């Protein structure tokens, strides 16, 4: 060893040979190299720009589960899985052993103590509360009115405008504006009017994107590092704090306006939205004595609902429209189906929820697009006690587990050899009904007691928007435009979706 130290060139040559051997072994076996000291981090960093494909490939090669080893002494090992039986076990069968855990709660501090960020009794209470409101008929009617109103007064005028000018437009941006306006209306009773021909810059709309960027960064750097940055208010943490402040100001202002409204307007005259419903519940219910303290509760609850419903639906819409625009035979079948249900020359926006539920092929196309491009790419859990997963992997207490949704939609073992093809027919039975796939296989909306509370809402919203656009306009993707997913937890298109729009009926 001492001789080697005398010849640094020899040491460097040996190091290079080792590097070459490791790379050669990796390219032959395609297993992630576990380097001394730095673990599997170099491979992850090298592939950070196509991280979803990279992890999916390794999951396929490793039977759906592998342990990612982080750098030594950093406590960043993590079990990554896309095995349906593991997911069934983690999300349902042994649910109580796999809460989100304290690390999740620290990273997602912007969500406060809201439903997405809580465990145990607090989660249970909020889930029951929200379930009551979201299932209420009043909410369903209000929701339909909001979405249809936005289509008529926001979406159609913009698409008419860009089609008359013949200009390219970013459909993803339009969908993000649409979903932000509609979720703010549903949750806060306030319309930020982001969806308008002027494409206005709205501070809290932008702040949401900045928060998502900042949270992603926290996943990649060691915890100590981002916490230090937060303490010193430098780098991405400074930007994140500012964005969180903008968001908080917006939400707290909506809460105080709502409280004033409740004091001045008669109960019967109040317009329905979730914030009003929750405040009323608090005033009339057992928590009335805590009313003055509950601004934080209202902030957390509404912030969580905005986060849950904003970019999830816009991401789903963007990938759906890209797939349909690039698969003309699918588009033709959807149009045929809409035509069948548009008796007496009504406009597509007049289809009510019951009629929309009859659009089976459209439903299949939406499921297929969600399968291939799961808007929520992953979910993090942390074990309480030791356990053995159905795949045979041992779990120690405090093991971090990453349920990797993106890969699940692309596993040959689940969907067959044509798993990468866009085939809405996959979802339709011989009798013309939707094929039921258990949620631990079609994991897009999570499975078990923590499954998504907005699933039905999502399908209805996408169907209303999809039928309105496809029936009235041709959407053509700009040829040279690059299409690739970003590297975020929410699967947006990295460069947006540039399209040209033309009217079908002039
Ligand atoms: C394409 C659209 C959507 C997708 C793909 C989706 C997906 C998901 C997923 C994967 C989870 C589990 C997250 C986790 O625990 O880590 C979840 C939870 C949740 N979602 Fe959605 N979601 C969508 C739309 C919505 C909408 C529109 C709402 C309503 C505002 C909503 C409300 C919720 C709520 C409240 C939870 C928390 C459930 C709980 O922890 O008990 N989601 N969603």
Q: pLDDT tens-digit profile of 422-475?
A: 999 999 999 999 999 999 999 999 999 999 999 999 999 999 999 999 999 999
Alpha carbon of 82 to ligand 1 centroid (Å): 19
CB 313 less than 6 A from any atom of ligand 1? yes
Alpha carbon of 303 to ligand 1 centroid (Å): 13
CB 130 less than 6 A from any atom of ligand 1? yes
| pLDDT confidence tier of residue 492, bands split at 50, 70 and 90 | very high
Structure tokens at 371: 């399968």
Alpha carbon of 458 to ligand 1 centroid (Å): 10
**Domain total of the chain:** 1
Q: Which atom of ligand 1 is nearest to the CA of 130?
A: 35
CB 302 less than 6 A from any atom of ligand 1? no
Q: 422: domain CATH number?
A: 1.10.630.10
Residue closest via CA to ligand 1's atom 41 equals 450
Alpha carbon of 379 to ligand 1 centroid (Å): 11
At residue 126, does pLDDT exceed 90?
A: yes
At residue 103, does pLDDT exceed 80?
A: yes
Percent of the chain with pLDDT over 90: 65
CA distances for 321 relative to 413, 433, 461, angstroms: 27, 23, 14
Alpha carbon of 115 to ligand 1 centroid (Å): 10
Task: Give pLDDT, residue 288.
Answer: 45
Task: Give pLDDT, residue 125.
Answer: 93
Contact 212, 236 (CB under 8 A): no
* pLDDT, averaged across the chain: 88
What gap in Å lies between CA 315 and CA 313, rounded to an integer?
5
Please indicate if the annotation marks 452 as binding a ligand.
Answer: yes
Question: What are the φ/ψ torsions at residue 326 (nearest 5 degrees)?
Answer: -100, 5
Which DSSP letter does residue 219 get?
H
Task: Give pLDDT, residue 291.
Answer: 45
Residue 81 falls inside a structural domain: no
Residue closest via CA to ligand 1's atom 27 equals 309
Contacts 24+ apart (CB under 8 A), 101-104: 101/380, 101/381, 101/382, 101/398, 101/400, 102/382, 103/223, 103/380, 103/382, 103/400, 104/380, 104/382
Alpha carbon of 114 to ligand 1 centroid (Å): 13
Please give the residue that has the higher pLDDT: either 206 or 270. 206
Handedness of CA 187, 189, 193, 195 (dihedral sign): positive
Structure tokens at 61: 């090669």
Which SS3 state, helix, strand or coil, does residue 87 take? helix
What gap in Å lies between CA 374 and CA 362, rounded to an integer?
17
CB 448 less than 6 A from any atom of ligand 1? no
| pLDDT confidence tier of residue 287, bands split at 50, 70 and 90 | very low
- Return the best residue to mutate from 127, 277, 403, 452 for the ligand 1 pocket (most ligand atoms within 8 A of CB): 452
At residue 353, does pLDDT exceed 90?
A: no
Residue 207 falls inside a structural domain: yes
Q: Which atom of ligand 1 is nearest to the CA of 375?
A: 5
Contact 155, 178 (CB under 8 A): yes
Q: Which atom of ligand 1 is nearest to the CA of 403?
A: 16
Show the domain range for 493: 115-503
What gap in Å lies between CA 169 and CA 162, rounded to an integer?
7
Q: Which atom of ligand 1 is nearest to the CA of 134?
A: 29
Mean pLDDT of 220-226: 80
Contact 386, 380 (CB under 8 A): no
Residue 66 falls inside a structural domain: no
CA-closest candidate to residue 383, choices 4, 25, 97, 188: 97
Structure tokens at 126: 């909020």
Q: Which atom of ligand 1 is nearest to the CA of 457?
A: 27
Tell me the DSSP string of 314-366.
HHHHHHHHHHHHT-HHHHHHHHHHHHHH-GGG--GGG--HHHHTT-HHHHHHH
CB 469 less than 6 A from any atom of ligand 1? no
Residue 31 falls inside a structural domain: no
Which DSSP letter does residue 111 get?
G
Q: Which atom of ligand 1 is nearest to the CA of 450?
A: 41
CB 312 less than 6 A from any atom of ligand 1? yes
| pLDDT confidence tier of residue 5, bands split at 50, 70 and 90 | low
Q: List the Cα angle 494/495/500 in 5-degree steps.
A: 135
What gap in Å lies between CA 119 and CA 105, rounded to an integer?
9
Contact 367, 423 (CB under 8 A): no
Alpha carbon of 321 to ligand 1 centroid (Å): 21
Structure tokens at 437: 């796939």
Question: What are the φ/ψ torsions at residue 400 (nearest 5 degrees)?
Answer: -85, 135
Residue 262 falls inside a structural domain: yes
- Return the best residue to mutate from 219, 275, 312 for the ligand 1 pocket (most ligand atoms within 8 A of CB): 312
Task: Give pLDDT, residue 427.
Answer: 98
Residue with tokens 């709660």, as numbered in its chain: 105
pLDDT tens track for 239-264: 999 999 999 999 999 999 988 888 88
Task: Give pLDDT, residue 97.
Answer: 98
List all residues 6 or more positions away from 398 whose beta carbon is below 8 Å from its beta carbon.
Answer: 101, 382, 383
CB 91 less than 6 A from any atom of ligand 1? no
Residue 33 falls inside a structural domain: no
Alpha carbon of 445 to ligand 1 centroid (Å): 6
What gap in Å lies between CA 453 and CA 78, rounded to an integer?
27
What gap in Å lies between CA 187 and CA 334, rounded to an integer?
31
Task: Give pLDDT, residue 289.
Answer: 42
Please give the residue that has the higher pLDDT: either 345 or 403. 403
Task: Give pLDDT, residue 100.
Answer: 93
């Amino acid at each position: 060893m001492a001789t080697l130290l005398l010849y640094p060139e020899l040491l460097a040559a040996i190091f290079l040979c080792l590097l070459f051997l490791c790379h050669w072994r990796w390219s032959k076996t395609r297993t992630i190299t576990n380097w001394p000291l730095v673990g599997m981090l170099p491979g992850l960093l090298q592939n950070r720009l196509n991280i979803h494909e990279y992890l999916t490939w390794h999951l396929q090669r490793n039977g759906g589960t592998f342990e990612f080893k982080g750098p030594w002494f950093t406590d960043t090992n993590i079990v990554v899985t896309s095995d349906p039986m593991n997911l069934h076990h983690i999300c349902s069968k042994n649910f109580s052993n796999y809460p989100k855990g304290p690390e999740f709660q620290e990273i997602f501090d912007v969500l406060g103590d809201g439903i997405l960020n809580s465990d145990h009794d607090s989660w249970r209470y909020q889930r029951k509360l929200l379930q009551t409101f979201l299932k209420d008929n009043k909410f369903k009617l209000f929701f339909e009115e909001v979405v249809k109103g936005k289509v008529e007064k926001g979406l159609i005028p913009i698409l008419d405008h860009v089609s008359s000018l013949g200009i390219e437009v970013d459909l993803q941006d339009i969908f993000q504006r649409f979903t932000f306006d509609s979720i703010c209306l549903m949750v806060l009773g306030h319309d930020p009017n982001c969806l308008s021909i002027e494409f206005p810059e709205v501070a809290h709309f932008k702040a949401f994107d900045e928060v998502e960027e900042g949270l992603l960064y926290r996943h990649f750097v060691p915890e100590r590092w981002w916490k230090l940055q937060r303490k010193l208010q430098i780098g991405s943490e400074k930007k994140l704090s500012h964005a969180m402040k903008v968001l908080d100001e917006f939400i707290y202002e909506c809460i105080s306006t709502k409280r004033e409204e409740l004091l001045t307007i008669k109960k019967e005259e109040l317009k329905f939205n979730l914030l009003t419903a929750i405040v009323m519940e608090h005033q009339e219910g057992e928590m009335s004595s805590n009313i003055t303290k509950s601004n934080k509760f209202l902030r957390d609850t509404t912030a969580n609902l905005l986060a849950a419903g904003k970019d999830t639906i816009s991401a789903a819409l963007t990938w759906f429209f890209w797939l349909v625009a690039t698969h003309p035979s699918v588009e033709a079948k959807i149009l045929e189906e809409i035509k069948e249900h548009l008796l007496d020359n009504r406009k597509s926006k007049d289809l009510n929820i019951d009629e929309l539920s009859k659009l089976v092929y459209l439903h299949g196309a939406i499921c297929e697009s969600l399968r291939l491009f799961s808007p929520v790419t992953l979910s993090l859990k942390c074990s309480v006690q030791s356990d053995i997963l159905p795949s045979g992997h041992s779990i120690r207490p405090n093991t971090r587990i990453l349920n990797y949704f993106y890969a699940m939609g692309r596993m040959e073992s689940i969907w067959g050899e044509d798993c990468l093809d866009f085939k809405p027919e996959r979802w339709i039975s011989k009798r013309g009904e939707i094929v039921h796939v258990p949620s631990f296989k079609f994991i897009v909306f999570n499975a078990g007691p923590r499954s998504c509370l907005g699933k039905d809402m999502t399908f209805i919203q996408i169907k209303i928007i999809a039928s309105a656009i496809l029936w009235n306009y041709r959407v053509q993707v700009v040829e040279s435009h690059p299409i690739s997913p970003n590297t975020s937890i929410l699967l947006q298109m990295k460069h947006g979706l540039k399209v040209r729009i033309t009217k079908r009926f002039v």
